[in-house]
A and B are shown apart, each in its own frame.
Chain A
Amino acid sequence: MKAVITVTGRDSMGIIARVSTSCAECGVNIMDISQSVLHEYFAMIMLVDIDKLTIPFTDFVDRMAELGHSSALEIHTMHEDIFNSMHRI
Chain B
Amino acid sequence: MINMTDILETINMIREENLDIRTVTMGISLIDCVSDDGDRLCGKVYDKITKSAERLVSTACDIEKQYGIPIINKRVSVTPVSLISGACSPDGFVKLAHTLDRAAKTLGIDFIGGFGALVQKGTGASAARLIDAIPQALAETKKVCSSVNVASTKAGINMDAIAKMGGVIKHTAQLTRERDSIGCAKLVVFANVPEDNPFMAGAFHGMGEPETVINVGVSGSGVVASAVKRAGNCDFSALADIIKKTAFKITRVGQLVAGEASRRLGVPLGIVDLSLAPTPAIGDSVARIIEGMGVDVCGAPGTTAALAMLNDAVKKGGVMASSSVGGLSGAFIPVSEDEGMIAAAERGALSLEKLEAMTAVCSVGLDMIAIPGDTPEDVICGIIADEMSIGVANNKTTAVRLIPACGKSAGDSVTFGGLLGYAPVMRVSPFGCASFVARGGTIPAPIHSLKN
Q: A47-B2, A58-B62, A82-B253 are in contact. Are A87 and B10 (CB under 8 A)?
A: yes
Query: B6 and A82: CB pair below 8 A?
Result: no
Nearest chain-A residue to B255 (Cβ)?
A85
Query: Which of the residues A32, A79, A85 comes within 8 Å of B66, measured between beta carbons?
Result: A79
Nearest chain-A residue to B68 (Cβ)?
A78
- Report chain A residues within 8 Å CB of B67: 78-79, 81-82
Nearest chain-A residue to B249 (Cβ)?
A86
Query: A34 and B4: CB pair below 8 A?
Result: yes
Query: B66 and A57: CB pair below 8 A?
Result: yes
A62 to B10, CA, bound (A): 20
- Which residues of A (29-46) have their CB < 8 Å from a CB of B? 32, 34, 45
Query: A87 and B6: CB pair below 8 A?
Result: yes
Query: B65 and A62: CB pair below 8 A?
Result: yes
Task: Say whether A2 faces chain B, with CB atoms less than 8 Å apart.
Answer: yes
**What's the tally of chain B residues with a CB closer than 8 Å to chain A?**
20
Nearest chain-B residue to A84 (Cβ)?
B2
What 0/1 pattern do residues 71 to 87 of A give for CB contact below 8 A with B?
00000111111111111
Task: Say whether B69 faces chain A, with CB atoms less than 8 Å apart.
Answer: yes
Task: Say whether A26 faces chain B, with CB atoms less than 8 Å apart.
Answer: no
Query: A85 and B62: CB pair below 8 A?
Result: no
A43 to B102, CA, bound (A): 46
- Report chain B residues within 8 Å CB of A47: 1-2
- Report chain B residues within 8 Å CB of A76: 11, 68
Query: A85 and B253: CB pair below 8 A?
Result: yes
- Which residues of B (229-277) have their CB < 8 Å from a CB of A? 249, 252-253, 255-256
A58 to B59, CA, bound (A): 11
Task: Say whether A22 faces chain B, with CB atoms less than 8 Å apart.
Answer: no
Q: A77-B68, A87-B2 are in contact. Are A82 and B10 (CB under 8 A)?
A: yes
Most buried by B among A76, A82, A87: A82
Q: List 30 A-B contacts (CB under 8 A).
A: A4-B7, A6-B7, A6-B11, A45-B4, A45-B7, A47-B1, A58-B62, A58-B66, A61-B65, A61-B66, A61-B68, A76-B11, A76-B68, A77-B68, A78-B68, A79-B66, A79-B67, A80-B2, A82-B69, A82-B253, A83-B2, A83-B6, A84-B2, A85-B252, A85-B253, A85-B255, A86-B10, A86-B253, A87-B6, A87-B10
9 closest A-B pairs by beta carbon, nearest first, are A78-B68, A87-B6, A82-B67, A85-B256, A85-B252, A58-B65, A86-B249, A83-B2, A79-B66
20 other A-B residue contacts (CB within 8 Å) besides A78-B67, A83-B7: A2-B2, A4-B7, A6-B11, A45-B4, A57-B66, A76-B11, A78-B11, A78-B68, A81-B67, A82-B10, A82-B67, A82-B68, A82-B69, A82-B256, A84-B2, A85-B252, A86-B6, A86-B9, A86-B10, A87-B6
